[in-house]
Structure 1
């Protein structure tokens, strides 16, 4: 069926008179044209790029795509059209009649009355060739053109749908969307991996700062969300974050997108865990429902077997690590149990697992496999590994904080969250030990004026896309990847 708006435009434009002058063409996207169930000679206009050209003696066949659909629209013309300019990659506008297609491959086709080339394309010089499946690594060299390929088109449509699904989940769950700042004066993570922001003007004096204080690109919107959670209870943000990590790994970017949520009156990690699992499953089901062809393309040609892994993840409850053990211990020592599992493993790790040392990607992937390839929550990490804002568990010599990471198959850590330290004296002591009291006095103030138990989490959006699509390299799920030694465009 045509969409409601498209149908309305067609009805308004149609006339009983057969003359085209009284029956103007309705502009349709390829997706809307393909979705027409009752093609009865409506005159339409379609614009896009040629994906294939096939010329026979008396018939010309074109496949045209405008990015709205994985499938292209077949255009059929007679021998009167000059096919010399109609090359792979060129842009064009086609006017004609939608008719039922005799082929079983498509429901409709466009019988061309007029074909106009908008922009020529030198097919020989174009880096992507018709019917050739290019590796993702090859396509990465052409960030300005790779979006025209089927694979990148599919990935980016999934990205768009996932964005909408995440916003929908939070809206339905009563969260208020907050635009947190990109330029900030604090380092939320405390790792020092910051990009400093300075004006490009050469007349700036060395001792002056544009903002009067050093300013940086944000590594996280969490601290600003904590401010807002003191007024709106449940808030989230979804935007770009930046880390100056000198890494060429498949899991890291210098610029990436984070989904972050914060909510007040949270008493335990289980409440965070429920929202994390709900977000992952709800968003993924929506993406699979609305982008099934795009997801299937990735699963078929890039990640065979990923479909089964994803279905296994969705139909099973995510695990808290300690319930995987023969004798479930108290939840507060699950990080400790994770280290013990790794130590007892026969696998040789590049990084030796030790208590008090952060888990590496190889450890995270092993733990997921150990738990049956189901996403697993690891909770309560050593205090010394985590930032100052995480809540102290007050659990003796091996001090831990109420932190949680969600590990997923193929990716490792996807979510990270914690209860926040809402007790003034605990937070003041942590900041004093780190020499941060002056810089974070405003953060202490939040504990003086109506503080409540609260917590939150962040999810790396690109890692989420890697997880559901099975894409190995994070650089292939973002339109314009930025990483060390590379900032193309």
Structure 2
């Protein structure tokens, strides 16, 4: 009661002060201002960056954007206002009345009562030019500025929405989110394309390891998820992964984001493929529903003539095809197309093979299952299928990208795994992994999805460097 009485005294004291003449301006994002239902002169405040300036005899028009929306808010001001410092790129704070716009181009506009310049911009020196449609290749030179363009703004809003959609899918499906480490002592892929970590400066001691063992940036959170799948039936992680691969291709980065999941008590690839398909479709539908203008912009200016959007828009009605690796190789061998890499059984499928298979199957997603044991990591479950000797691995190939998902059933049988590790000389390094099979092991499987490749797929973006805020690739680590 004492706290309540003190609060009431404070209110009575404040009530004796004079009321302000005008109701304080409510701060709104550009998105909220554009969607406002009440436009009867409500006073608001917006903060953002000038996207255009147009001065007429009696009126000054500005377009201001704060990144919350593809569409900018039109500001109408008195032409007597000194507009010399109101240049493209300048940051401003504007207070005024939100009113219905007489123009058909926008529903509302802001009649400015006060314009405050927060930060000037030398528009002549600024590398992003007003009314110019800069190629994505040009914008890569300016990772600190390219987010201010319409196209990168749209891609990054879509990226944010897709991130939320993925988390929502897993949460609604009962998965537990696990933060897997970025620093690790294992190479789950077995490819050897690792970034090794060493202390810098005074801490560097060449004869010793900081962690007592060699440490690397992670290439995958899968093995850590397998640890967690001994306590939780469904787990996932979503974070950065790293590959020291000297590739300048349009689909590889040195740092990229992976969505990975592990599911216990899974006995068949069909169960795993169902989760993969549902994740892909649910996320695509949510992005299309919540970012229609941004997706349309990408379709119009990034992928003109492609049917990327129509493919994704119909994703909920598409049933993914399923073919075996052996069938895929036969299709490739019978193709009239000449490949740079000759398709042979027992050899990894190349990007050109993957794209051909998708096209051959009608430009819809295709699951490839049952790969040769020799080309897959040690943890894939042996199919015990005689001379072919395949494992229960699966990839999902999609239009425009090729491989998007990769996964499979894990070898839960102790003796099978022990033999595989012994043949590879990895028994000592992965003794802890063998221990998982000794104490309460269950049939389980999982998958990983390259998040940037997913964005390439649904947006039709040709180069993976354009769907991540700060691309990292060989000979380039700007900022």
Correspondence for 2:311: 309
- Structure 1 residues 175-209: Cα deviation after superposition (integer angstroms, max 9, x where no partner): 00000000000000000000011111245321101
- Structure 1 residues 129-177: Cα deviation after superposition (integer angstroms, max 9, x where no partner): 1111110000010000000000000000000000000000000000000
d(CA) in 2 for partners of 1:308 and 1:284? 12
What pairs with 1:465-476 in structure 2 (closer than 5 Å)? 465-476=455-466
What pairs with 1:377-416 in structure 2 (closer than 5 Å)? 377-416=367-406
Q: Are the equivalent residues in 2 in contact too, given 1:312–1:374 (CA < 8 A)?
A: no
d(CA) in 1 for partners of 2:311 and 2:371? 28
Correspondence for 1:201: 201
The farther-off stretch of 255-264 and 99-108 is 99-108
- Structure 1 residues 295-342: Cα deviation after superposition (integer angstroms, max 9, x where no partner): 000001111232223234442111102xxxxxxxxxxxx111110100
Normalising to structure 2: TM-score of the pair? 0.95
Q: Are the equivalent residues in 1 in contact too, given 2:370–2:391 (CA < 8 A)?
A: yes
Correspondence for 1:240: 240
d(CA) in 1 for partners of 2:236 and 2:208? 34
Correspondence for 2:4: none
What pairs with 1:297-376 in structure 2 (closer than 5 Å)? 297-304=297-304, 305=306, 306-321=308-323, 334-376=324-366
Q: Are the equivalent residues in 1 in contact too, given 2:295–2:459 (CA < 8 A)?
A: yes
Correspondence for 1:211: 211
Check if 1:450 corresponds to 2:440.
yes
What pairs with 1:33-432 in structure 2 (closer than 5 Å)? 33-304=33-304, 305=306, 306-321=308-323, 334-432=324-422
Partner of 2:256, secondary structure, is: strand
Q: Are the equivalent residues in 2 in contact too, given 1:37–1:107 (CA < 8 A)?
A: no
Correspondence for 1:479: 469
Partner of 1:193, secondary structure, is: coil
d(CA) in 2 for partners of 1:101 and 1:176? 48
The farther-off stretch of 193-202 and 261-270 is 193-202
Partner of 2:47, secondary structure, is: strand
Q: CA separation of 1:203/1:174 partners in 2, compared to 1, >3 Å: closer, same or farther?
A: closer
d(CA) in 2 for partners of 1:68 and 1:119? 19
Q: Offset of 1:462 from its aligned partner?
A: 0.1
d(CA) in 2 for partners of 1:167 and 1:205? 41
What pairs with 1:433-444 in structure 2 (closer than 5 Å)? 433-444=423-434
d(CA) in 2 for partners of 1:21 and 1:425? 82
Q: Are the equivalent residues in 2 in contact too, given 1:240–1:257 (CA < 8 A)?
A: yes
d(CA) in 2 for partners of 1:205 and 1:111? 64
Q: Are the equivalent residues in 2 in contact too, given 1:343–1:353 (CA < 8 A)?
A: yes
d(CA) in 2 for partners of 1:191 and 1:354? 21
d(CA) in 2 for partners of 1:186 and 1:163? 27
Partner of 1:43, secondary structure, is: strand
Correspondence for 2:15: none
d(CA) in 1 for partners of 2:442 and 2:318? 33
d(CA) in 2 for partners of 1:36 and 1:246? 50
What pairs with 1:2-17 in structure 2 (closer than 5 Å)? none
Q: Are the equivalent residues in 2 in contact too, given 1:98–1:111 (CA < 8 A)?
A: yes
Partner of 1:397, secondary structure, is: helix
Partner of 2:125, secondary structure, is: coil
Partner of 1:295, secondary structure, is: helix
d(CA) in 2 for partners of 1:380 and 1:234? 23
- Given candidates 436, 447, 451, the residue that maps to 1:461 is 451
Q: Offset of 1:21 from its aligned partner?
A: 3.9
d(CA) in 1 for partners of 2:33 and 2:20? 19
d(CA) in 2 for partners of 1:338 and 1:118? 59
Gaps of 5+ in 2: 1-18
Partner of 2:230, secondary structure, is: helix
